[in-house]
């Protein structure tokens, strides 16, 4: 059983759109997930523009991918979230759906400071 950063069972991030490295709706990971798609984040206009400027256009629909809009939840790469955080445009994080492996790349305190579900801490 995979766990979130709170040490509890990992919750679903999104099934609409379907997300996750394995496209299960959860930010599950394995050794095959080189990008560490472990942060469940709610997309913002600022982050989507930032990601597009960095060469990863998440907002444009293309074959097999619907394109993301502000408000969509997505399992994103931990390093990209950290990069956005350092640039001041990190999207909010859903703690209950963010995998514990993220802490190998991102400081737990930074994720907690961007929590969309701070009640999960209780």
Closest CA to 73 of 7, 25, 24: 25
Residue 65 belongs to domain with CATH number: 3.30.56.110
Q: What does the pLDDT read at residue 122?
A: 72
pLDDT in tens, 41-64: 999 999 999 999 999 999 999 888
Instruction: Count up the domains in the chain and report the number.
Output: 1
Q: Are 91 and 41 in contact (CB under 8 A)?
A: yes
Q: Given pLDDT bands bounded at 50, 70 and 90, which one contains residue 119?
A: confident
Q: Which token pair is 55?
A: 């060469």
The range of the structural domain enclosing residue 67 comes to: 1-122
């Amino acid at each position: 059983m995979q766990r979130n950063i709170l040490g509890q069972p990992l919750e679903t991030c999104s099934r609409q759109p379907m997300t996750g490295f394995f496209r299960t709706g959860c930010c599950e990971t394995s050794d095959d997930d080189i990008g560490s798609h472990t942060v469940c984040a709610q997309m913002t206009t600022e982050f989507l523009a930032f990601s597009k400027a960095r060469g990863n256009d998440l907002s444009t629909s293309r074959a097999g991918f619907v394109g993301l809009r502000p408000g969509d939840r997505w399992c994103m790469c931990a390093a990209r979230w950290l990069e956005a955080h350092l640039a001041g445009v990190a999207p909010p994080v859903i703690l209950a759906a963010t995998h514990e492996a993220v802490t190998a790349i991102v400081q737990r305190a930074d994720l907690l400071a961007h929590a969309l579900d701070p009640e999960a801490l209780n």
